[in-house]
Chains A and B, each alone.
Chain A
Amino acid sequence: MEYVSPEGLRLDGRRPMEMRQIRAEIGAVSKADGSAIFEMGNTKVIAAVYGPREVQNRSQQISSHALVRCEYCMANFSTGDRMRKSKGDRRSTEISLVIRQTMEACILTHLLPRSQIDIYVQVLQADGGTRSACINAATLALADAGIPMRDLVTSCSAGYLNSTPLLDLNYVEDSAGGPDVTLGILPKLDKVTLLQMDSKLPIDILENVMQLAIEGCKAIANYIREILLANTKQLEYRRGV
């Protein structure tokens, strides 16, 4: 199967370094303290944040900083095949842990001692890059909830097929079995906060693929900043003085 045509077009008509269309919406869950919907192409993710609030299980309370919990799940209808997996399957647990660690690194937890922040992420439609979309949605939801953060974490994936680095893989490209790099960065601080990779990749090509993913993360960061700034201005002028 040919994933990149000789003219340099991918299966869905994108160039190798082109990202799928991204769209974000803030305030999707009215009862949550913060919520967001994030779409990357056909991948659609909804995230809700509750808290900072009182720790529900007293034995888990930490006196110096906040407790961050994350729960990830995929809707049964989100993939082509209907799944009947239980909530605690291995993949969900692993992704929940990844999102929690990524968010814990950027939330200023020491400012919220003895409290708990709950992040709930659900995939409504999966078409590759669900992990990255979940992290972006969680970042937007945390910013909407007014939780102090060092920087906005943004995430993007990149791959390597037909001797070409590709940005923002979709499901078909992801299923090809080639290398898949998922990267999460703090764009202002210019630090990598998450790096995951499947399959094998030569070390010199890894640099190129990572650089491509970093460019994608920065593009997503610019878009997220625009969304948040417009939302903040809107809240302010509607409130009045």
Chain B
Amino acid sequence: MREIQLPLSQTQKVRLQKALEQLESLSTKVNSDASVIIADSIHVNHEDGVLKGHGTADLNGEVVATLCGVVERVNKLVYVRALRSRYKPEVGDIVIGRVVEVAQKRWRLEINYNQDAVLLLSSMNMPDGVQRRRTAVDELNMRCIFEENDVVCAEVRGFQHDGLHLQARSRKYGKLNRGQLLTVPPYLVKRQKQHFHHLEEFGIDLILGCNGFIWVGEHVEAKDDMIEDQVSQSDSQVLFPNKNCVSLEEQEKNYTILETRKYISRAANAVRVLSTLGFNITLEIIKGIIDLSLSMNLDIHDMLGSEFCVLVAEKEAERRSSMKKRR
């Protein structure tokens, strides 16, 4: 049994146990027998001609699981949805990665997958927004766009012969600045229509990457190409935003006010609490935790303490219970 690694007092232990038992009772009715482990037999009706999907194998005409997870059945497809495992890319997923290597005409990104992902120079928009062919000068200037250890937001393009390819073709993708990068297990991030969130009341952006990388940063206005085109003509500095610049004016531009930095830390700690407890990470739950900590006038570092984690678990049990009644 995986223990929650928190220094709990006896009272907190009892309260946490009670909240988790309530969560278990809420979910037991839905899918009580769907969990399987490695080499478990999966019951299928062979007359239906089932398709064996990911996480299953054939053993003497019997379908057995090769992963620990939950059995899902979609029409004739039977597969095992793994819980704790590395990210499984799908075309169109929004992912956040870290640049590990700048190679010829490409960047290699670590995205919590079996291999490093590849972002080609031709698969992304140039910083100046001009649509043109990539030249040798662009290849020489690749480190001015992304260098090693930069955090990049991109979209999964598909599998090619040399691995997984990403693309960053709109203004909302690209380099991420002035924020925090968090790593959570990928099974906690659900696939949704919207993964870019702007928390207007706090002035921060939240990107929930499907691969478990979550970015919490200062809000950046997403300009469209027309406006960007005009700006580039007047200011050539936009061409290479990554340049190491020590001028006072540049430092002033990169400064983030203290209030925004506090909100960034508070949102990041909210995600950390959810990851510690193993709860689903969605925008509503993150907002709820931030509001809860603000209403209690809690310090940012106290959000990671035992008392607040137990309180979040209790609130989540209440929320799921009320949602079940409403359904």
Contact = CB atoms under 8 A, between A and B. Distances in A.
Same complex: yes
Interface of A: 25-27, 30, 33-34, 51-54, 108, 112, 114-115, 143-152, 187-189, 225, 227-241
A238 B86 contact: no
B194 interface: no
A232 B27 contact: no
A146 B67 CA distance: 6
Given A151-B39, A241-B30, 12 more contacts: A27-B2, A34-B84, A143-B38, A146-B85, A147-B85, A148-B67, A188-B39, A189-B39, A231-B1, A232-B70, A239-B83, A239-B187
A237 B37 contact: no
Chain B interface helix/strand/loop/mixed: loop
15 contacts: A25-B1, A108-B57, A114-B115, A143-B38, A146-B85, A151-B39, A225-B37, A234-B1, A235-B83, A237-B23, A237-B27, A238-B279, A239-B279, A240-B27, A240-B316
Contact of A240 (B23, B55, B69): B23
B1 A26 contact: yes
B39 A150 contact: yes
B299 interface: no
Contact of B35 (A53, A114, A229): A229
B116 A54 contact: yes
B313 to A, nearest CB: 9
Contact of B37 (A51, A228, A236, A239): A228
B38 A238 contact: no
Contact of A146 (B24, B68, B70): B68
Contacts of A143: 37-38, 68
B70 A236 contact: yes
B28 interface: yes
A240 B280 contact: yes
Nearest to A187: B39
A33 B115 CA distance: 15
Contacts of A54: 110, 114-116
Contact of B38 (A114, A115, A228): A228
Contacts, number: 127
A145 B3 CA distance: 16
A236 B35 contact: yes
A143 B31 CA distance: 21
Interface of B: 1-3, 5, 20, 23-24, 26-28, 30-31, 34-40, 55, 57, 59, 64, 66-70, 82-86, 110, 114-116, 163, 187-188, 277-280, 316, 320
A229 B37 contact: yes
A146 B82 contact: yes
A108 B86 contact: no
Contacts of B40: 225
Contacts of B20: 238
B39 A152 contact: yes
Contact of B86 (A30, A52, A187, A225): A52
A140 to B, nearest CB: 10
Given A26-B2, A30-B5, A239-B187, A149 B278 contact: no
B212 to A, nearest CB: 11
Contacts of A114: 114-115, 163
B210 to A, nearest CB: 15
A150 B1 contact: no
B2 A236 contact: no
